[in-house]
Amino acid sequence: MADQPWVLQSHIAQNNATSSITFSSLTSQYCTNAAGTTTLLDYSNAPVFRIFFKVQFQTSQNVLGSSNFSFHGNYTAANDFVYDYQSAQNYTSMSPYSWAGTSRDYSYSTSRQEVGYAVGGSQFNNYNWGTSVNDLDGNSVASNSRRRGAWITGWYENYFPNQAAYYPWTYHVGMVTDQQMDNSAAAPTADWGAWGIGSGGCTNGPYIDTITITSAYNFIGDFFVFRGCNGNHQVNE
């Protein structure tokens, strides 16, 4: 197999509800090329941190609050961030093919990297309006199964080659739901889903060998950390 510059470093399969997950020791692990040569995944050798995830919040809340879904690197304070979003938080209507956005909806703060206004709960009262169905294997799947709940997809990324500078997180999160999250019977409503695009950094220090994703509401999901290297240090497996 050829060598290439990307590494899937870690997967957290969070199948039991929790309020926090943490990736640790991200810059002290190694990747290996086809010749067996190892490379330390430190900031210089692997400057790209790319996190992909899917998550469900085990709550009926349609608005979680900005700080109630957040993440941070080594420092829990002094994380400057800003993000644009649209969700039930701002009460902007979402209707079948009627474009709406009443104002620039954004949130800014200096604590952790927050994206709570870009997501919503996955157990809203009407989400399981369907009936049981059989999956392709013949298993009966109830309408309120977590397999059929509202999943949120997320993408966090930065590039930090150990400069004497802040690292630039960018993030991109979204969900579309099978029903309005506020029990509305008809459009328009803001509760068909949520999305957010943002960025941030940390003035306490640009170090992210430990990354924590946390929420005030318990969640389940899959979380991956990929690393982009400054050379073809990893054999394609």
Partner 1 sequence: MTVKSKFYLLGTVETNNSTTQFLELTNISTDYAVLRIVFNGMIDHSGGGTTNVASGQWQQGVSIGMQGAWTGGPNASAMKYRNMQCHQASNSTNWQTAIGCAHQSYSVTPYGEIGRQYYHSGNLDGTERFTIEGIVVQPGNNQSKQILWKGSGTSPASSAQGTSYSGSGWTGCTKLDAQNSASAQRAMAPMDSIRIGAGWDSAGTPKTLGIYSSLAVYGEGWTSDVQTGNDWS
Q: How far is the CB of 164 from partner 1 (least distance, A)?
A: 30
- 147 versus 203: smaller Cβ distance to partner 1: 147
Whole-angstrom Cα distance, residue 154 to residue 225? 12
User: CB of 20: closest distance to partner 1 in angstroms?
Assistant: 19
Taking the complex as a whole, the smallest distance from the CB of residue 212 to partner 1 amounts, in Å, to 19
d(CA 54, CA 152): 5
Nearer to partner 1, 77 or 100 (CB): 100
Nearest Cα to 157, choosing from 226, 205, 210? 226
Nearer to partner 1, 143 or 204 (CB): 143
What is the pairing mode between strands 6-23 and 152-159? unpaired
Nearer to partner 1, 95 or 203 (CB): 95
Computed on alpha carbons and rounded to an integer, the radius of gyration of the chain in Å comes to: 20
Match 């040569």 to its residue by tokens: 37
CB neighbour class for 175 (10 Å; exposed up to 12, middle 13-18, buried from 19): buried
State which residue, 84 or 111, has the beta carbon closest to partner 1: 84
Give min distance, CB of 76 to partner 1, in A. Answer: 26
Nearer to partner 1, 120 or 200 (CB): 120
Neighbouring C-beta atoms of residue 2, cutoff 10 Å: 8
Q: Report d(CA 38, CA 86) in Å as an integer.
A: 44
Report how far residue 32's alpha carbon sits from residue 187's, in angstroms, rounded to the nearest whole number: 53
To partner 1, the closest distance from the beta carbon of 201 in angstroms equals 20
Q: Which of 96, 113, 93 is nearest to 158 (CA)?
A: 113
Rounded to a whole number of angstroms, the minimum distance from the CB of residue 182 to partner 1 is 14
